[in-house]
């Protein structure tokens, strides 16, 4: 395939080919950013929480006694409900807690009586059963007692990673921290390791320091509990819980595994993925329309020339190859410009908001995709060109 004549022919018509190259460039820039955002969101939506679905059920429900029925009546109802849930067959443990691997509730803490800035951490309110229920290992100190939970004692349990951030290495029990409310709390236990949770988890996934979690002895709400079930009995226990809640004529309830909670929490990300996907698809479709139209026009323009070439001995494949190559050169030129344009657009987006960063593999992958789409788009008109009969050359009309 002689590139010389093809390129020279294109150079006689610079604006037209230039515009198509620009269109390909802009398409690549946008598609690459869309792909980056989709990948980023997918990572969040499929990340593992570190808690095996087989063991845990999250149950939330509302009390059917209205608020003006009296606080004591409501408390008694909750106590009874918690106890009856705990007694269900195959339920090992139950904890009244705000724990949810995908929650985003953050607090900030700093060592007491210092002036350094408060460090953010995921904050979880839990009762005395939480550590056994979700399987936390303490490598220093102890968990909260029932009395401490009931009295909302000013204590805290931190993860080793968070404690290290505040106090460096060394024993942490007995040290005092100030939380974001201004209360002074004493550390009474240290969790050895905890998969980073919620939004702090994303910091961990992206390489920043994660694992910053603090536990407060408090029943923040009676309406959410986490249940630990015997292995293999997840499905049965779930049905049992749902039947039980129905019998208790509970106001509103939700029984979910941690994966289901994950899906719920990432509804905005799912919307984002849909929007980006649609946008990328629309762009690729339009790009293919444009390239098809342009190639078709190119063919029409050179009908006579094609006829002459065929009459002089060119095969159908030569003609096909000519137009595919022409389209390929413009596309490649556009992709090269588009690659740098993709980084420029990404920089602009990152400046406006917290978008996803693109990388060379993403741009290369998108470019490849676009190249294949462009090839597919140029094929029908090129095939039409290859079928032009040599008799055209000798016609005078």
Partner 1 sequence: MLGYYFFLAWKNIRRTPGNSLIVVVGIALGVAVSTLFSTIYYTYARDPIPEKSGSLYHVRMDSWDPKVAHPMGIPPRLTYQDTLGILESNIPVRQTGSYPSTVLIGSHNEPNRARRESVRLCNSDFFAMFDVPFRYGSAWTTAMDDPDENVAVIDDTLNQRLFGGRNSVGEVVTIEGRPFRVVGVIEPWQPSIRYYDALLLPTALVERVYVPLRRGSALRLSPETYSLRWKQDPKEGTEGAYMGELVFIDVWVELHGADHIAAYKRFLDGYAADQRRTEHFSRPIDNRLTPLLEYMRECKCPPPEAAAMMLVADLVLLACALSLIGLLWARFLARSAESSVRRALGASRWDIFAQHIIECQVVALGGGIVGLGLAVVLLQAINMHYMAVHTYEIFHVNGAMIACALIATSTAGLVAGVYPAYRACRIAPAWHLKLQ
From 77, 167, 180, 220, residue interacting with partner 1 (rule: CB under 8 A)? 180
Determine, following the binding rule CB under 8 A, whether residue 256 of this chain makes contact with partner 1. Answer: no
> x/- string (CB under 8 A) for partner 1, residues 100-119?
--------x------x-xx-
Stretch that binds partner 1, among 40-48, 52-60, 134-142, 267-275 (CB under 8 A): 267-275
Closer residue to partner 1 (CB): 49 or 296? 296
Q: For residues 7 and 271, which CB has a smaller minimum distance to partner 1 in the complex? A: 271
Residue 394 lies near partner 1 (rule: CB under 8 A)? no
Residue with tokens 């995709």: 369
Element of type H or E holding 252? none
Q: Give the residue from 169, 172, 97, 105 showing the smallest Cα distance to 136.
A: 97
Of 60-68, 157-165, 211-219, 386-394: span binding partner 1 (CB under 8 A):
60-68
Give the angle subtended at the CA of 194 by the CAs of 95 and 179, to the nearest 5°: 75
* Residue 29 touches partner 1, criterion: CB under 8 A: yes
Q: Which residues pair with 107 in a beta bridge?
A: 121
Q: Please identify which residue in the block is written with the tokens 């039980």.
A: 244
Q: Residues 6 or more apart from 137 whose CB is under 8 A from it? A: 191, 192, 193
Q: Which is nearer to partner 1, 131 or 262 (CB)?
A: 262
Rounded CA gap, 242 and 57, in Å?
11
CA distances from 176 to 108, 125, 187 (A): 14, 18, 6
Q: How far is the CB of 59 from partner 1 (least distance, A)?
A: 21
Of 176, 192, 300, 364, the one binding partner 1 (CB under 8 A) is 300
Beta carbon nearer to partner 1, 181 or 249? 181
Cβ atoms of 299 and 385 within 8 Å: the answer is yes
Which residues make Cβ contacts (< 8 Å) with residue 216, sequence separation at least 6?
123, 124, 125, 126, 155, 156, 185
Q: Which residues bind partner 1 (CB under 8 A)?
A: 15-16, 19-20, 22-23, 26-27, 29-30, 33, 66-68, 108, 115, 117-118, 180-183, 267, 271, 275, 279, 282-283, 285-287, 289-291, 293-297, 300-301, 345, 348-349, 352-355, 397
């Amino acid at each position: 395939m002689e590139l010389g004549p093809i390129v020279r022919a294109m150079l006689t018509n610079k604006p037209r080919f230039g515009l198509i190259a620009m269109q390909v460039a802009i398409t690549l820039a946008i598609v690459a950013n869309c792909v980056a955002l989709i990948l980023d969101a997918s990572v969040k939506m499929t990340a593992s929480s570190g808690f095996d679905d087989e063991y845990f059920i999250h149950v939330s429900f509302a009390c059917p006694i209205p608020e003006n029925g009296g606080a004591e009546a409501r408390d008694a109802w909750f106590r009874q409900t918690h106890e009856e849930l705990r007694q269900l067959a195959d339920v090992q443990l139950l904890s009244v807690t705000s724990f949810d691997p995908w929650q985003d509730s953050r607090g900030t803490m700093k060592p007491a009586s210092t002036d350094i800035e408060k460090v953010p951490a995921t904050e979880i309110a839990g009762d005395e059963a939480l550590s056994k229920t979700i399987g936390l290992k303490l490598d220093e100190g102890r968990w909260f007692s029932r009395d401490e939970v009931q009295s909302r004692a000013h204590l805290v349990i931190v993860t080793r990673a968070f404690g290290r951030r505040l106090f460096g290495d060394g024993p942490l029990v007995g040290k005092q921290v100030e939380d974001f409310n201004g209360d002074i709390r004493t550390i009474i236990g240290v969790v050895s390791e905890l998969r980073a949770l919620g939004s702090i988890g994303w910091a961990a996934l992206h390489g920043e320091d994660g694992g910053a979690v603090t536990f407060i002895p408090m029943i923040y709400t009676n309406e959410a509990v986490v249940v630990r079930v015997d292995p293999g009995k997840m499905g049965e226990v779930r049905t049992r819980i749902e039947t039980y809640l129905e019998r208790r004529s509970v106001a509103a309830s939700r029984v979910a595994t941690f994966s289901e909670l994950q899906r719920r929490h990432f509804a905005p990300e799912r919307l984002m993925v849909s929007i980006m996907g649609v946008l990328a698809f629309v762009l690729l479709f339009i790009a293919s329309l444009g390239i098809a139209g342009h190639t078709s026009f190119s063919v029409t323009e050179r009908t006579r020339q094609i006829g002459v070439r065929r009459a002089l001995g060119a095969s159908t494949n030569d003609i096909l190859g000519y137009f595919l190559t022409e389209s390929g050169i413009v596309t490649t030129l556009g992709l090269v410009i588009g690659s740098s344009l993709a980084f420029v657009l990404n920089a602009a987006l990152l400046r406006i908001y917290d978008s996803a960063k693109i990388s060379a593999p993403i741009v290369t992958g998108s470019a490849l995709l676009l190249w294949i789409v462009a090839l597919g788009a140029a094929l029908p008109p090129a095939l039409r060109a290859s079928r032009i009969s040599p008799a055209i050359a000798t016609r005078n009309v």
